[in-house]
Chain A
Amino acid sequence: MEIKQVVGSLVCTQRIPGLRHADLRVLADPTGRKVVATDPVGARVGNWVYVVSGSAARYAMGDAGYLTDLTIGGIIDFWDAPEAAAAAPREAATPAQAA
């Protein structure tokens, strides 16, 4: 599992049925590279999370019917951000819109 920081939410109305109504989050790694992951836990902007990749990402959604290859596995309780995080200036605690 890789460690990443949530940098934003993502709205995507036109999606394939296989993606169902999964919440999507934009994540960045310490180098600043951005990726999108499905989010079954409800992570907020600024949270550090670990992500499950590959086929395990589908099981991590609780149902292998979700067509995803990257899923947030959980929120890290304590994480001292390594070398000045990539992520855009932290738009402090703007609660990611629920659902």
Chain B
Amino acid sequence: MKICQVEKPLVSTNRIPGFEHKHLLVVRDGSTRQVAVDAVGCIPGDWVICVGSSAAREAAGSKEYPSDLTIVGIIDHWDEGA
């Protein structure tokens, strides 16, 4: 699992049907930016935990959901410098 910070929502009207209407967010892991499916409901600035691989599909709702990065939790507090 990765610790990421939510940067902003991502608007994508033209998407594959498999993504349904789930919220997509741009998250930052260090300097790299990625897009994650939001399974918990977070806002820009939140530190979150993201899962990858097949766990990402199941965490987003079903085994067939085509996600490779899903937000599974919002971190209440952690030591960023550690």
Contact A77 B12 (CB under 8 A): yes
Give the contacts of A59-97 with B (CB-CB under 8 A): 59-60, 62, 64, 71-78, 82
Bound-state Cα–Cα, A78 to B9, Å: 11
Contact A52 B14 (CB under 8 A): no
Q: Determine if A19 is an interface residue (Cβ-Cβ < 8 Å).
A: no
Q: Determine if B82 is an interface residue (Cβ-Cβ < 8 Å).
A: no
Question: Interface residue count for A (Cβ, 8 Å)?
Answer: 26
Give the contacts of A35-65 with B (CB-CB under 8 A): 40-42, 50, 52-57, 59-60, 62, 64
Contact A74 B68 (CB under 8 A): no
Q: Which residue of B lies closest to A64 (CB)?
A: B64
User: Hey, which chain B residues are within 8 Å of A82, CB to CB?
Assistant: 33
The verdict on A56 contacting B10 (CB below 8 Å), with A50-B35, A73-B19 known, is no
User: Hey, which chain B residues are within 8 Å of A77, CB to CB?
Assistant: 11-14
Contact B33 A3 (CB under 8 A): yes
Contact B14 A75 (CB under 8 A): yes
Q: Which residue of A lies closest to B63 (CB)?
A: A59
Q: Which residues in A have some Cβ–Cβ distance to B below 8 Å?
A: 1-3, 40-42, 50, 52-57, 59-60, 62, 64, 71-78, 82
7 tightest CB-CB pairs across the interface, nearest first?
A74-B15, A60-B66, A1-B35, A74-B12, A59-B66, A77-B11, A50-B35
